[in-house]
Amino acid sequence: MTILGVVFAVGLLILLIAALRVQPFVAFIVTALVAALLLGLPLEQIPKSIERGIGDMLGPLSIVICLGAMFGKLIADSGAAQRIAESLMHLFGPKRVPLAMAITGFVVGIPLFYNVGFVLMVPLVFSVVYRSKLPAMLVGIPMLSGLSIAHGFLPPHPSPTALVAQFGADMGRTLLYGIVVSIPTLLIAGPLFARSLKRIASGPSELFKPTTLSEAELPGTFNSFACALLPVILIGGATALAYVDFAPSSRTLIEFVGNPMIVMLASLFVGSMTLGVARGRKLAQLMEGYGHAIRDIAGILLIIAGAGALKQVFVDSGVNTELGALLGNIPIHPLILGWLVAFAIRIALGSATVAGLTAAGIVAPLIQITGVDPNLMVLAVGAGSLMCSHVNDSAFWMFKEYFQVSLRDTFRSWTMMETLVGSLGLIFVLLLNAWL
């Protein structure tokens, strides 16, 4: 009965979001309530369970995600993203523009949340298209693959950050493993795959004509790269130093500096000073931009909160232990199983974030039962959540409208790129698991 209750709950969630278009947070709360009743939680415990799930999920994540949203907004508004793109194009030359755009999408995608990055970076893609005279697909797909990979695999993006918390993984190690998996995935799903799309005719509508900052308005190259990559440098550095035999006091300091909250706060402060105040931007202007960033991320925070409520119902009812035993007996590698669960929910719901967070509540018990590396499970679920973007994904339609292509060509380009990212991501996660 408990397993049927879980299946019914997931089916109800899919029905509410995909068919009835209920706001995801409301859908998660309704599903958590129904699941609690079906799974036999005492009535007096149900509100407490839902409230605890929301609090436990948002408590450690809200600061990191909100600071990350502000930081990404700063990188975009200051012109650092445009400077990074232009510097990489100059470095790689006109013959390797697709590679430069792939690296740009990945580097900029680390601090920039996906939907914001999509809207802000696509005009830059067409600016490059106009200057280089290259096909839009050859330029755009590598850029968007970089954004997508960062969105699915790397903290501080919402889904990977939440998965780290749910699986008991380590933020720094997940980030380092994610970069290792991302590089070959990016090269194949980005510049290499884009070569097969050169004959697809596309171009921006009048609405999406590019607007770029002048050379005088852009920050310096070192400043742009250093600020954009500062979170990676701090978290990665702290993780690497954790393996060095330091005195306890030094180790405590390293752990403090490498804490994701401290990292994002320090990165935001440095960026605000070097990309903002030092370049003549008023503090009030920066704060206004940060306010917009918080409003943009509010919906994602609510989705994470709702997923936490459903997860806690599974935990308090004891069904997660039964789920873990059931899934652990399936003769499939746990990383592949986690990927498959996220893949199935992604197909049904469309949203990668919702797919990853919903799958996490189901596969989390696998980690304790099988002993699989939780950091790799974060990446496997993240890869599954990116698979097969189609008509129920808002990004599918954004791509179609921005690039002015047919439905057939959208499936051939966008959907195939996302599927390659998800499939290759799993392959390289499995290879990394075998090596480790």
Percent of the chain with pLDDT over 90: 30
Token pair of 296, please?
């943009």
What burial class does residue 299 get, using C-beta atoms within 10 Å of its C-beta: 0-12 exposed, 13-18 middle, 19+ buried? middle
How many domains does the chain divide into? 1
Q: What is the pLDDT of residue 63?
A: 85
Q: How confident is the model at residue 1 (pLDDT cuts 50, 70, 90)?
A: low
**Confidence check: pLDDT of 205 > 70:** no
Cβ(418)–Cβ(382) under 8 Å?
no
Lowest pLDDT segment from 68-72, 269-273, 385-389: 68-72
Q: Mapping DSSP to helix (H, G, I), strand (E, B) and coil, where does residue 259 land? A: coil
pLDDT one-digit tens code per residue, 179-195: 999 999 999 999 999 99
Q: Mapping DSSP to helix (H, G, I), strand (E, B) and coil, where does residue 143 land? A: helix
Helical H runs in 188-318? 193-194, 221-241, 248-258, 260-271, 283-316
CA–CA separation, 176 and 45 (whole Å): 40
Give the residue-averaged pLDDT of 109-133: 76
Give the residue-averaged pLDDT of 32-59: 89
**Confidence check: pLDDT of 405 > 50:** yes
CA–CA separation, 205 and 404 (whole Å): 7
Mean pLDDT of the chain: 85
Q: What is the pLDDT of residue 406?
A: 87
**Confidence check: pLDDT of 246 > 90:** no
Q: How confident is the model at residue 207 (pLDDT cuts 50, 70, 90)?
A: very low
CA–CA separation, 241 and 254 (whole Å): 8
**Confidence check: pLDDT of 210 > 60:** no
Percent of the chain with pLDDT over 70: 94
Q: How confident is the model at residue 398 (pLDDT cuts 50, 70, 90)?
A: confident
pLDDT one-digit tens code per residue, 309-354: 888 888 888 776 776 677 767 788 999 999 998 998 888 777 788 8
Query: What range defines the domain where residue 302 resides?
Result: 2-435
CA–CA separation, 322 and 324 (whole Å): 5
Q: What is the pLDDT of residue 349?
A: 76
Q: Mapping DSSP to helix (H, G, I), strand (E, B) and coil, where does residue 21 land? A: coil
Q: What is the pLDDT of residue 206?
A: 52
Give the residue-averaged pLDDT of 357-378: 88
Ranked by mean pLDDT, the top range of 86-90, 126-130, 375-379 is 375-379
